[in-house]
Structure 1
Amino acid sequence: MSPLPSLVIQAERLVELGVHEIAGLTADDVRAFAREAGGERVDVLLAVHPDRAPASALAPLLRREDKPGFVVVDMPDVDDFTPCGIEVPDAPLYLVEGLDRGDHMANWSPEEALPALAKDARTPLLLTEGIHWLLQAPEVLERNRCFMTIGSRLRKANGSLDARTPAIWISNGTGRDGRERRDAPKVGWCWWGNRHTWLGFGSTTGRDGTRPAA
C-alpha cells in the first residue's frame, strides 16, 4: 500500500470534506494541529476523536468509483460502537501510527484476532479510524482485501458486549444495499465468532505518539 499523504495534506482533505465542521472545529484548528505534529510526516494518520465525528457522519464522505459510502440499514446504532479496551487520546485531534490492514489475518474471527494483535503489541482500529484512513487513502479498500475495525464495540445495558463487530468493505449492490450502491464503500458488521476470507483486521502500533503495552 502507498504511504499516506503528509499531515498538512490530510488536514486540507478533512477541511475540504467539512469534517472540521462536524467536529465543531475551525479549519485553522485542524491545520495548526497538523503543522505542529510534523506537517510533512507521511507515516501517521490524522484522526478526529469519535466523540467529535461519529461514524454515521463520516461514512457518507467515503467515495469509491464516485459512489458515496453508507452504513447498512440494520446498524442504526452504529455510533453506539465505542472504544473498547482502548485508550484514545483526550483531544479533538490525534495521530494513529503504524497502520496495517491485517491481510494476514483474513479468515480469522475477531475472537481469534484480538489476542494475536495484543501479542504483537498492536491494538485494533476504531471504526472511525478506519473511515479516516479511507478518506485519506481510498485505494486501501480493495475487493477481497477489506478489514474489520474491532476496536469499536457495543456494550449492552447489562454490561455484556454485543456480538456484532464493525467492518468496512465494498457493497455488491445486493439485498437491502440496492443496486445503485454496487461498488460503494460499506460500513457493516460481522459476528464476533465468524470468519471471512475477505476481511482482515485493521490495527495500529499506537495513538498520539504512544504505544500500547505488550
Structure 2
Amino acid sequence: MPAPLPSLATQAAHLVELGLLTDHGTLDPAALHSAAAELARRAPEGSLLVVHPRHLPPSSLAPHLRRQVRTRSGTDERPGFVVVDMPDVDAFAPTGVDEPTSDVYAVVGPDRGDDLANWSPAEASPEIAGRGRSPLTLAEGLHWVLQDPTALERNRCFMTIGSRLRKPDGSFDTRTPAVWISNGTGRGGIERRGAAKVGWCWWGNRHTWLGFASAAARLA
C-alpha cells in the first residue's frame, strides 16, 4: 500500500529539491512554500500538495519520477517517461473535476482505488461519483508518485480518469491516462523496465492491474 504522505511543507521542499520549479515551472519556490504553509492550516493530515499544471504540466513531471530497479549488478534508479504515442499528454484536461484555479492546492484523501481494478473507466466513473469522490487528474496522480514512489506497485497501479481529451467535434478521445510500471517491452525499451510509465488505456476496457485513483476533496 502507498506510504503516508509527509507534511505539505516537506512536499513543497521535495518539489524544489527535484529542480522542477527551476527547470520547468513558472512558479517561484518562495510562493510554493508560502502556499503550502497556508494550506497546512486547513488541509487534513495525509493531503497531497499539487502545483497547477499551467506551471508544471504532466510532460514535465514524468521524467522526475524515480523507481529503484534491481539489476544483475545491483540496483538502478530509473526515471519515468511518457509513451511515445501520447505526444499530446498535456492536452488531457480536467473533466468532471472541480480543479482549483489557484497556483497551488491540496488533494484530500488520495486513494489508489485498488478495489476498482478490472473495472472499465466507463464503469468506474459513476461508481466514484456515487461514493462522493472525484477521480484524480493525471497531474495529481503524477504529483502523488513524485512524493511517494510506493503509490505504484506491481499489479497495483492506477488510472487518472479526471483528465480527458476532447476532439475538435466535441466528443471525447477514448484514450484515458494511466500511470503504471513498465515491463520493458515494445517501444518503451528494455532499459526502461521497472520505470514509472505514463500511458493510456481505452475508455471501455478493463485491466486487472489498474485501479482508479480518486480524491475526497480539493482545497485551494
Flag whether TM exceeds 0.5 (same fold). yes
- Structure 2 letter corresponding to 1:28: A
Q: How does 1:151-166 map to 2 (within 5 A)?
A: 151-166=162-177
2:52 partner amino acid: H
Query: How much has 1:23 moved relative to structure 2?
Result: 2.7
Give the aligned partner of residue 23 of structure 1.
25
Partner of 1:88: 99
Q: State the alpha-carbon separation in 1 of the partners of residues 26 and 19 from structure 2.
A: 10
Instruction: Give ranges in structure 2 of 5+ residues lacking alignment.
Output: 69-76
Q: Would you say the 8 A contact 2:27–2:55 is kept in 1?
A: no
Structure 2 letter corresponding to 1:124: P
Shift of 1:3: 1.1
Match for residue 147 of structure 2? 136
**Structure 1 runs of 4+ off > 3 angstroms?**
39-42
Q: TM-score w.r.t. structure 2 length?
A: 0.92
**1:168 Cα deviation from its structure 2 partner:** 0.2
Give the AA of the match of 1:9: T
Task: Trace 1:158-177 onto structure 2 (pairs within 5 A).
Answer: 158-177=169-188
- Specify whether residues 41 and 115 from structure 1 end up closer, same or farther in structure 2 by C-alpha distance, changes over 3 A only: closer
How many angstroms does 1:38 deviate by?
1.7
- TM-score, with normalisation over the residues of structure 1? 0.94
Is 1:38 matched with 2:40? yes
Deviation of residue 41 (structure 1)?
5.7
For structure 1, the 5+ residue unaligned runs are: 210-214
State percent identity of aligned pairs. Answer: 60
- Cα deviation 1:129-168 (Å, max 9, x = unaligned): 0000001111110000000000000000000000000000
The alignment covers a number of residue pairs equal to 209
Q: Distance in 2 between matches of 1:41 and 1:157?
A: 40
1:2 match: 3
The alignment status of 1:47 with 2:58, answered yes or no, reads: no
Aligned to 1:185: 196
Distance in 2, matches of 1:51 and 1:108, equals: 31
Partner residue of 2:63 out of 60, 67, 73: 60
CA RMSD of aligned residues (A): 1.3
